Each structure stands twice: as C-alpha cells, then as structure tokens.
Amino acid sequence: MSDMAKNLILWLVIAVVLMSVFQSFTPSTSPDQQMDYTRFIKDVRQGQIRDASVDRNGVITGEKRSGEAYKTVIPGGYDRDLINDLVKQGVRAEGKLPEETSFLTTIFVSWFPMILLIGVWIFFMRQMQGGGGKGAMSFGKSKARQLSEEQIKTTFADVAGCDEAKAEVEELVDYLKEPDRFQKLGGRIPSGILLVGQPGTGKTLLAKAIAGEAKVPFFTISGSDFVEMFVGVGASRVRDMFEQAKKAAPCIIFIDEIDAVGRKRGSGIGGGHDEREQTLNQMLVEMDGFEGNEGVIVIAATNRPDVLDPALLRPGRFDRQVTVGLPDIRGRAQILKVHMRKVPLGDDVKATVIARGTPGFSGADLANLVNEAALGAARKALRVVGMKEFDAAKDKIMMGSERKSMVMSESEKAMTAYHEAGHALIGRLVPDHDPVYKVSIIPRGRALGVTMYLPEQDRFSHSKQHLESNISSLYGGRIAEQLIYGSDKVSTGASNDIERATDIARKMVTQWGLSEKLGPMLFAEDEGEIFLGSSSAKSFHLSADTVKLIDEEIKAVINRNYQRAEDLMKENIDILHAMKDCLMKYETIDALQIDDLMARTTVRPPADWDDKDSDDSTKKNGNGDASADVEATSKDAESAKDTEETSPVEPDASKPSGDTPST
C-alpha cells in the first residue's frame, strides 16, 4: 500500500472517530411531532392524552388518545403541578431512569482528546522521520534500503567506458564468491573502496554491477540520510546499518555522496559536539574498530574527495580509491552501444562516428544524447532513429535548443553573423587551435549565435600555444564588430568572451608558470571552498611590485593575442564578409562550408538545405511587425552572454579541464 493511501485511511479513521464522539454529546432528534408545552397542558386537562413518559431533562413523550405521537419539553425542566394534572385525568405516567455508562466508557470519553492529540503527534513524527514502517520512535534506525539478489539485475555487461575501474573492483566479486582462495595466501580483501569521479561517470552504476555479479545482499543509502535534526540520530543509524549488514554478511554497503557526512572534522560549529562529526566518528569506528566486519564491504562514491576527512581515507577503512574518469573515444562508443540496445537504429548510425564527435561527454551525457535522439525521431513520427537525429541531439546538448521563433532585425542578425564569423575565422587561422565544427546565428538559449569547435582527438593537456590561440579566437568576435561597425558601435556581446580570455591569461601567469618574466612560480591558487567560515585556500602575501608585475604580464598576454587576431582579420577581411553573407543565407554552416570560404571558392550549400528555407528564414527574421520581439532581443543582448563559443571538450572551450594545464 502506498504512503498516500495509508495517510488517507488514517485521516478517514480520525474523522469517523471525531464524528462519533461529537454525535454522542449531541441530543438525538426524533421524527415525532413537536408541540409546545401550553398546548400539552391544555390537552391533558381536556383528557386527550393517553400516556406520558418524562425523563430527567424534562422531555415528555407519549401518545394521545387519538393515537397520535407527541413530544414536548417542560420549560425549566420541572413542573410540580404536572403530576397532579396527569393523575386527575387518568393519564398513565412514567419516569425514565438515566442511562448508566460503564467505567471504561467514562474513561475513554474523558481521555479521548489526549489520546487523539498523542495519535496526531505520532503521525507527524512518522512523517518527519520518513516512516518506513518501523514505528514512530525509530529515529535511530538505519534508512539503508536492502536489495536482495533477485532485485539487482545490473551486471558488468551494463557498465562500459571504465575498463580500469571495472578491473579494480572485479576481485571484490571473486572474493565474495570464493573467499577461501584469497584467505589461503593470507590476503585480506579491501574493506572499503572509494569511487571518485566527475558527476555522471557511472559510479553508482558500477557499485550496483558489483552486487549484481556477486549475488549478495546490497544495502544502499545516501550520506545525507544519516544526519537529522536530533542529536545522536546519525551515529545511531550508522550502528544500526552495520548491525544489519553483519547479519546479512557477506554483503555490500553502498554510501552515495559520502562527502555529505564525511567532511573534515574541526571545521564545523560546535567542534566535536557537532552532529555531523559525531556521525563521522561512529562511521570510523564501525569501519575499523575493535570489532571486525568480516564479509561487509563498504563502497562509497563522491565527486569531492578533497573535502573528506583523512582518517576516512586511510588503509583499513577505504583501502582503495578507484577513479572513474570520463571515457575516451573507445569507451564512449561502448557506452553508446549499451544505451542503443533498446532504440531502433537506422542503417546509417555508427556509434564510433558519434563517439568521435562527443569528446568530454560522460556516461550520463551519452545516455541523454541517445534519449534526445529517440525523442526527436518520435516527434517526427519516424520508425527508426537515424544519424540526422543523433546530430540534432548532439547540437542541442552542446549548444542549447534552437529559438527559431525569436525574431531578429536584419541589423542585429548581420552583427551576430559578423561576430560569429570573427570567432570562426581566427579559430581557423591561429596555430594549434581546435577545428571549427559549426557556426550558427540561430539563437540558442541566451546566445544569439554560436561558434562550436570540435577537437580532432581527446585532449588531456594544453600547451601555451593552444591557450594563446584560444585567447585570440575569443577576441575574434569583438574585433570583427569593431572593424565593420567602428569602436562606437561595438556591442556587449563579447562580455563573456572577455571574461574567459582574461581568466585564461591570469591562470597562465599566476598558476601555470607560463610567464617569461615571472617564471614557473605559483602566485595564486584556485578559490578554496568556503565551509562554515573556513577556507581551504592559502593566503599569498605578495609585494606591491609583484602584484604590479602580474597585472602587466596578464595585460601583455591579452594585448599580444588581441593584436595578432586583429592583424589576421585585416589580412582576410574578404573571407569575413563572405562568411557573414553565407551565414545570413544559410544561418548555420559546418566545416565543409568553412573550408570553401577559407579557400575562397564557391560555397556549397548544406546537405539538408532547401531553397524554400531561404524564403522561410527571411520571413521569420524580417522586420515585419515584430517590434516587441526585436526589443526583447536587444535586451537579451545586454545580458553579457549574447554570443557564445563552445567546445565539446568541456563546458568552457577556453578553460582546460580541471583548471590545470595537464591531468
């Protein structure tokens, strides 16, 4: 029975009980004929009353000689002359004894409000504690959900793209199946494994696959389920969870997002009395204390290993840290094949081709890609999902949804075309830059246009030449606007480009040691995480001269690459104009059209281009009578992110992965 049904039944029972109690205190009504007392006395004296029954409340009921029933009430509840009148007229009179109530009924009626109040309090306490069918006072009971062997259907065949991580944990399965083989040689299986990786890389899926392969009970819980508002509840839940696991050993305990409870101690308010720290202390004792946990393997997952307490990471507790990283091109192809099993595919779909065009995608991103492609095919009422749907889904994920209904004036459309053409042109001319994959002036999200780069292969480090080329291409849009429209007409569309270019230059100088004057020295760190008033970042005490030199070097890097981009654009201004015209006509161009533009030859139309698209585009983006939409577009252009330059390697094309030049 669902929780909603249980709650509904409980409230219905409470309502019925309340109605019953109120009914018992309410005088019952009778369908008998009601008459006033004066008329009753007159009928008595006229001899029309046959019998009368009087209760202690002064209510008189009976029957007239005509056979008609009556009912009346004595005013004030008492009339001493009434009996004499009844006797004189020969009326058969009787009095009613008061109803006797049992002792238990009296107790129930008097204590019912208190019982009802206690019942409501228990109900709300169950709701606050999540219920779970363990009783209202089971605050300290574990919220871990146990999955039996039959409930877990996931196996290693469902996990792809992380072969190294799978190899690390496969011996856990062998140990759970054949523990004697390891114990003969004195080996001890790791009691805890910490899965570390970016969100969406498959840490939870890998843990379920371990349980599915080993065919053992699997306890799953989130780190946030331990700590509640009551002091000591978290530690009690940890104890209860390990007690249940010991009874079901051999088994696996999976703690997702363990950083919610495993953060470094000493940083919270209250010191050692903090509820979170007490919960962590109990977990440390349970994992490796006086009592052993034979057959209980703890697997935890987090994407923030840097904030975990060192005592939690030492051997004996979490003996291994398994990194579940982003998949390479071969891993992405394997992941795509896993998710494509349930999708009817067209003959032109090739997982390896899609994998080559999605560097930096996690397993969750690839699952979303397949789902978006299937949804796109369903919207078109297709029977199979083709490569065209996968390309459209990839563009939607990388660049955002198209806003084709957004009306732009011809002047804004032309400026956007020049801006994006400037990014693409410089990206093709500077060395060691990712190839331009697609340029579009169709609004997507908050951006009025998008220039997208696609690396030829996965990048794991970034050279100084590559970083400076990124800075030059980021300024390409602003330089194009300045050359075509003049300094006074430059728009706010380059604000995000400037922010990203400045960030790259600052990190080159202060973190990555790529400045000739300052040398390979560290002058700043990434911003530390602020947690309850403390910061993990170190303080740097720099002299005024050093700070001035840092500012000069950052400015020199930016000016050098800005000037290079401006010189290249002036030398190839004809290509800029041609690319703008091409974008105005087709709205979206890819690498093939850009190749024709760079070679100064006739530009071939896109593969899916139709002549009628040109007319539809003109009508859609013309001035017309859509002045309100144009005004809204102008306001969006001032939001500091009107144009966007994206790369599938990471969300920010100019930022190296992990904020370091190499990983």
Domain 145-323 in CATH 1.10.1740.10: no
Tokens matching residue 561: 């690459």
Query: Lowest-pLDDT range, 144-148, 198-202, 387-391, 622-626?
Result: 622-626
CA atoms of 202 and 123, how far apart (whole Å): 38
Query: What pLDDT, on the 0 to 100 scale, is given for residue 608?
Result: 66
CA atoms of 347 and 428, how far apart (whole Å): 33
pLDDT mean over 364-392: 92
The CATH T-level fold of domain 410-515+556-659 is Methane Monooxygenase Hydroxylase; Chain G, domain 1 (1.20.58)
When pLDDT is cut at 50, 70 and 90, the band that residue 492 belongs to is confident
When pLDDT is cut at 50, 70 and 90, the band that residue 72 belongs to is confident
CA atoms of 244 and 345, how far apart (whole Å): 46
- Structure-model confidence comparison of residues 372 and 234, the more confident one: 372
Residue 533 has pLDDT above 60, yes or no: no
Question: Between helices 464-474 and 495-510, what is the axis angle to 10°?
Answer: 160
Q: Kindly list the catalytic residues.
A: 420
Query: What pLDDT, on the 0 to 100 scale, is given for residue 460?
Result: 75
Residue 29 has pLDDT above 70, yes or no: no
Distances (CA, A) of 653 to 372, 399, 470: 23, 12, 8
pLDDT mean over 46-63: 83
- For 633-651, give the secondary structure using H, E and C: HHHHHCCCCCEEEEECCEC
Q: Are 143 and 237 spatial neighbours (Cβ–Cβ below 8 Å)?
A: yes
Q: CA 69: distance to chain centroid?
A: 73
Of 270, 303, 264, 304, the residue nearest 284 (C-alpha): 264
Residue 263 has pLDDT above 90, yes or no: no
Q: Output the average pLDDT for the chain.
A: 78
Query: What pLDDT, on the 0 to 100 scale, is given for residue 148?
Result: 67
pLDDT tens sequence across 305-341: 888 888 888 888 888 888 888 888 888 999 999 999 8
When pLDDT is cut at 50, 70 and 90, the band that residue 621 belongs to is very low
When pLDDT is cut at 50, 70 and 90, the band that residue 662 belongs to is very low
Question: Between helices 544-571 and 464-474, what is the axis angle to 10°?
Answer: 70
The CATH T-level fold of domain 329-399 is Helicase, Ruva Protein; domain 3 (1.10.8)
pLDDT tens sequence across 199-215: 888 888 888 888 788 77
pLDDT tens sequence across 243-260: 888 888 778 888 988 988
Residue 222 has pLDDT above 50, yes or no: yes
Query: What pLDDT, on the 0 to 100 scale, is given for residue 477?
Result: 93
Residue 557 has pLDDT above 90, yes or no: yes
When pLDDT is cut at 50, 70 and 90, the band that residue 454 belongs to is confident
When pLDDT is cut at 50, 70 and 90, the band that residue 645 belongs to is very low
Of 422, 411, 435, 423, the residue nearest 584 (C-alpha): 411
Nearest 10 degrees: CA dihedral of 244, 246, 248, 252? Answer: 90
pLDDT tens sequence across 633-644: 333 333 333 444
pLDDT mean over 616-629: 39
Of 416, 556, 432, 435, the residue nearest 478 (C-alpha): 416
Beta-bridged to residue 436, according to DSSP, are 453
Query: For strand 588-590 and strand 436-440, is the pairing parallel, antiparallel, or unpaired?
Result: antiparallel
- For 36-94, give the secondary structure using H, E and C: CHHHHHHHHHCCCEEEEEECCCCEEEEEECCCCEEEEECHHHCCCCHHHHHHHCCCEEE
Query: For strand 59-64 and strand 49-54, is the pairing parallel, antiparallel, or unpaired?
Result: antiparallel
Label residues 421-454 b or e (16+ Cβ within 10 Å = b). bbbbbbbbbbeebbebbbbbbbbbebbbbbbbbb
H helical segments located in 400-512 = 410-429, 464-474, 476-485, 495-510
- Structure-model confidence comparison of residues 171 and 527, the more confident one: 171
pLDDT winner (highest mean) among 313-317, 455-459, 617-621, 645-649: 313-317
Per-domain residue ranges for the chain? Answer: 145-323, 329-399, 410-515+556-659
DSSP state of 273: G
